[in-house]
Amino acid sequence: MKLGLLLAHAGEHSTLEQALGSQYLLAWRCQQISQADKHCTSDPVDLVLVELHQHWQSNELEQMLQGLPCPVLLFSTDGLDHTKTVFTALGAGAKDYVALKSGAELNFSLLLKKIRQFDVLHHQGRSSPQLAAESPVVIAIGASTGGPSSLFELIKALPKEFKAAVVIIQHIDGRFSAGMAQWLENATSLRVKLVQHNEPLLPGVIYIAGAEAHLVVSKEGRLQLSQQPENSLFKPSIDVFFSSLSTYWQGHAIGVLLTGMGQDGALGLKQMKERGWPTIAQDQASSVVYGMPKAAVHIKAASEVLSLDKIATRLIQLCSK
């Protein structure tokens, strides 16, 4: 994997450069926003790491991101609140952000884990692509707080002849995932099941991700269980599944982010939107907790914002096209 590095503080991160150089090819480094585009043009890389600076203007960063031909991972080391700049940057196309502790000794382990995650999801290569016409539409649904009851209402409205494959990532204690799958079966005539490792995506089946493992789509287009990334706050993570689907699924997909606390799923939903797929966020009025959908709306990851009672109807419309 080939990296570019845009630093806010020159000469202070030799440890970071050593760590990067031991695992990846560090192609170039620069200090000015205006230089990054030139470097990417003359020496293309797989990922650009950008250290945020308090004096950088948001419009400068946004302009750079829109012009770069490669993905960008943001990080900061000054301990300052970069929230406004980060959300502007994410809206302009940055993939993720890592805030590192400021001090005499900086710990870059979290940044390195983020780079490894990106490497796994985006640079393992794609083989044996499936033809879109032979693949079912995949409806990827993420939910957290208030999710089970919302999911019950949503799938209850899906018709028995529904031909999409529905994959649900719900934050829930692992002891209850099997019970939730059985409970959701009461809402639909479609088949509902817990995901088994390495199984194919089939039309008319609702797959429930179990706990204690991430759910990902392999480069062969099958559902697989994975322990990577280990540092994820949630397992299974909505972002991890949405991102892997965006990377490896060769057919059509639709992303849905329902009620929940936090931000899991927002970045992954944005990746799905960038693939050209429809993306839906639940609106505030019908959400038990308007955290995850709000985060998605904030970074413009949702192509539509709908109340819960309108989402199933919209999914049926989208799948009939």
Mark whether 82 is an active-site residue.
no
Using a 10 angstrom Cβ sphere, with 0-12 exposed, 13-18 middle and 19 or more buried, the burial of residue 107 is exposed
Residue 252 annotated as catalytic: no
- DSSP letter for 260, please: B
> Rounded to whole angstroms, how far apart are CA atoms 291 and 299?
13
Q: Which of 13, 39, 122, 171 is catalytic?
A: 171
Q: Which of 96, 239, 264, 283 is catalytic?
A: 264
Nearest partner of 140 among 272, 270, 264, judged by Cα = 272
Q: Which run of H or of E encompasses 91? A: helix 83-91
Q: DSSP letter at 290?
A: B
CA distances in angstroms from 245 to 97, 98, 134, 136, 234, listed in the order given: 21, 23, 16, 13, 18
Lookup: tokens for 216: 């990902």
Buried-exposed string 28-63: b where 16+ CB fall within 10 A, e elsewhere: bbbeebeebbebbeeeebbbbbbbbbeebeeeebbe
171 is catalytic: yes
- The letter for the amino acid at 200 is P
How many other C-beta atoms lie within 10 A of the C-beta of residue 146? Answer: 19
- Do the Cβ atoms of 301 and 92 come closer than 8 Å? no
Q: Which of 53, 82, 96, 144 is catalytic?
A: 144
| 3-state SS, residue 272 | helix
Which pairing describes strands 199-200 and 222-226: parallel, antiparallel, or unpaired?
A: antiparallel
The tokens describing 169, both together, are: 């990532």
Chain CA centroid to CA 241, Å: 7
Catalytic residues: 144, 171, 264
